[in-house]
A and B are shown apart, each in its own frame.
Chain A
Amino acid sequence: MTVKKNLLWIFLLLFSLPGWTQVPFFQHYVLLKNKSPLVNSFYQDKTGFMWLGTNEGLFKFNGTTFQQFTQVDSLPDNNVTAIAEDSLGRIWTGHKNGSIGIVDHDKITKFIPAEGLPSEEISDLLFDRRGNLWFSTLNDGLYYFTQDRLYRLDKENGLPDLFIYDLDEDDAGNIWAGTDGGLAVCTLTDRDATIKTIDARNGLPDNIVRKVEVAENRVWLGTEDAGVFMYEPASGVFRSIVEGTWRYGYVSDFAIKGNQIWIACPQAGIAVYDVIEKQIKLYGEKSGSSFVAVNSMLADREGNIWAASKTDLMRTYGDDIEYIETINPAKDPNIVAIARDKQGAIWFSNSEGLFSLSTDEFGESHSVKHLENTPYKKYSIISLYVDGAGYIWAGLYGEGVLRINPVNRKIVYISKELRNGNVLNVTGRGDVVWLATLGGGTQIKIDGERLTVKNYTRAEGLSTDYIYQIFVDHQNRTWFATDGKGVDMLDNNGFHHYENGLASKVVYSITEDANHQIWVNTQSSGLYVLDNNLFKPMLNPGSEQDDDISCLTADDAGNVVIFHNAGIELYDVDEKRFHDFGETVGMGNRKPNLNAFASDEHGHIYFGTDHGIVRYSPMKAVELTGPQPHIESFIVLDKKMDLSQLLDFKYNENYITINFIGFWFQNEANLNFRYKLDNNDRDWINTRDHSITYSNLDPGKYTFRLEVSETEDFTSAKTTELNFVIRSPFWKTPFFYIFSTIFICSLGYSYVKYRERRIRRDKEVLERMVKERTREIERKNLLIQEQTEEIKSMNENLEITVKERTCELERKNKALEEYAFITAHNLRAPVASVLGLINLMTKLEHDHEAREIIEHMQQSAEKLDTIVGSITRAIEKGD
């Protein structure tokens, strides 16, 4: 798709031949790679998807990809000729062979009523407000399905013809059918339908009504030969949208957008009728080959117009922006100044001179060169303006200004009255014209043919003589955009000066918005709004338009229109929002020229650029919806969930992927999303992806919120949300907690009870044991007592015995002592004498032998002494 889009815009630029005169930008779509299906019907469902019924099946489009359904997917027939949606959001398809299919969440089943189905092609399907299904056929009459039964209406019921093209429902619930025999208005009461016919006898200009659309209290009809009509049932009046004969062949479809009706005329192209301006224009073969054989039209909710031809599917945002590139015979497309006269011709100047351009209803433009045979032929025209009387003012580069009568081409040349002949800008209000020059501002009062010139310069109170633009506001105050000195304003009290707040004091343009606020455009510091003598900057958060703003003006509704190098922006004063027209409308590399713009009485604004003229027509009465967020799928552990069911998951089904898109057919690739999972994400998360995965979510209640916007600003973004619940694992649920608590408590309780019992039993056993032991002990005690008595008595006996023995022992001891004493003492005397004798012996002389015997006798005697001594000691020791 992008390749095709680039190819198209290269086409537009390079081949700006008479083929491509005045067209809005159309984006082309390719449904299939190697085939070009013929689109029979279009439908946009409540969610935002675009459904296309073709001869190669049914297609579902989300803005980027086409999903194809064919007989392989259970589609009853590959040739889809009608599409409708029921109250449950199911898509119903009607086919060439009379069959009907039902698409529910991308699954297709066949609708097979017991009464059978028609044998002819189904031309239209409709669900009325009560939910009944109506379908029309080509030559098999009109069918309706109510209360489970299928009924057929044919000529016997009053149907004017069996060949029915289209159906629509009015506010009262009547079904209008366009047939080969006029309009049939069917009213259903219970199961019966009554038919009222409106045909040529009632004033219907053409009995063959191919398209019917009821809008408020009017009925719009598209016919075979008489074109498009508006019918008022209340008055019975038919009004054609053209004066004179209809020249565009048969009408196969049309779509209503705001004040415009876009009509598919297969024999001529696309005709666009403006209800308010009562003008019709044609995008036909001369505008491009894709406009040939256009047979279906749809206006979607964004404001796009979709058109399908035999070979193409295309979409345009509308003719908000149209490009006039062919200005033959003028060659140079660099338009320096532009104005629009009261006859509808566009006056412009380029390097070749001054031209006026008229465009016919076929979109063909032709320019006429002016000033050829005048002395002003070679002058450079840098500004243009059409005054209150319809005269064209041409500001020259150094030579003053011309005032041209567009009817008789008479020229009034003003030069010497001006202080300076460099007229950068011409403007005015009523019968006053102002010239912005390099010598201050010049005011010219017009009184018929008399012009009174007054110059205002520094001497009169202007801050500087270099003026870029002058603007007269609704209070008739005159504002001057100066080169380097901010802004001056002239009112009944004289000159006032404003420059506080401006970062750059070089002001290029001034305008006024719906709230009567003054806007200015400065060199390299962007836009400002004057608030109580102080300039406040106005920035568009979504673009970098600070530099290069060449044109600043306001549309009919008072919204501010800005044209810079990247395109046109509209600031909506009510919504306080910038709306961007750039690449999406095929602006390309066009650069606007400084202050080169003009408005017409219908509110269209014409801009002069380096590549021709751009016409901007602000869409009125159309609600500009923003992009729509849509959650496509919700996948849990690789399984896709049914979003119509409650989303309730187990604790371990907590790996979730959410895929989403934004419906914005104009510029799907440029969408910004932000999402927030309540209960998980602390704050909004921005992304440009189309998918988010949450893994390992805790059990809980969640709400997933999604918003989408074209810019970074989400203040007016639409939200969609999805709720789901992850259940706690059973062991985390309160039930479980309570249960287990109870269980544990009861366990504990029973355990305690069990222990109690045990203890009691043990206690009993112990008590028994204790009793037994006590008895034994008592017995033993008795025994011991007896034994003690025995021992006592034995003890006493022993004592007596011991006493006796002791006495005896003492006696014996005493006796022994006496004996020992006596012995010892009795012994001692002899011993002593022996000793002494021996002693004497030693002192005598003896022979050797005798000596030895004496030594031996001494030794024995000493020994004996010792022994007696010890016995004596022993006895003494014993005392």
Chain B
Amino acid sequence: MSEMVLMKGNEAMSEAAIKCGCRYYFGYPITPQNEIAEYMAARMPQAGGFSLQAESEIAAINMVLGASAAGARVFTSSSSPGISLKTEGISYIAGSDLPCVIANVQRGGPGLGGIQPAQSDYHQATKAMGHGDMRLIVLAPNSVQEIAEHTVLAFDLADLYRTPVMILTDGALGQMMEPVDFGKLKINKPPEKTWAAAGHSDKRPPNIINSLYLDPKDLEAAVLERYKNKYNIIDEKEVRYEEFDTEDADIVIVSYGIVSRIAKVAVNMLKDKGVKAGYFRPVTLSPFPSGRLGEIAETAKRFLVSELNMGQMTDDVRLAAGCKKPVDFFGRTGGIITTPEEIYNAAAKVLEE
């Protein structure tokens, strides 16, 4: 049944979290994600859940750690500077094999930066979301509908792999309103969490949630195990992307999130001019669709990466393309959203070379 409503991306994310059984939210105010904390403060009590404004992003992520360790589906959100504060807790959550969902509604940086949309936390999200040998699953939706769907997916993946999952949006996706159909969401029941620390009732040995291994042999074994049974399987099974007309393309434009919608217009503008242009969009930024991009590099002539940053994904595309084909970059940063014309012009320029 259709449950179509008009909503901001931030609100759709919040409602989707509640719809898939998340009953705990811990956050801290920061623009442009405040609608999430506000929505949760209003809706969680109605849904029999609990929402708390913590004293800091650091406290919020550690409340998430506690709630997750206690077996709950739990959610937190922030924007770039606040995500930096959460990195400590995220590393502990990853090191303790706990599931949770974290949204980063990105704004410009570094430092206090600005409050307008950006994608300049790509490196942080995909490479450095905390200290140590660890990763997250990173989803990059590009519409309000997909934000809702990815939120459900994020909770399912988090529980399946016992890993933190990040939904990476930006100030534009978070703030813009679009129709969203919650009837389309596929809700799965979370798995039973026999590992949770919620009191053993004298029926089992104590469960210990821990990330400390003082003996290097033990720590190495734990990390190897996590790569083998988690990250490698995620790489194999959870890569998601979208593409069209990439085979034999003169140029493939690679972009994600809000920019992928702008890039789609640019690709069609190029086509109108007779250019064989293709479109590729990583839907999971981690795991990155390197395998498919490598295949495309066999037949496509070149790539143009476009992002709202200084080209942070470019290296990943170059590695995926195996240096077989040139990879150029065009982007805007600091909170400025690129236009289809700018991407078109950048593509036209490299094609002239």
Q: Do A and B come from one complex?
A: no
Interface residues, chain A, CB within 8 Å of chain B? none
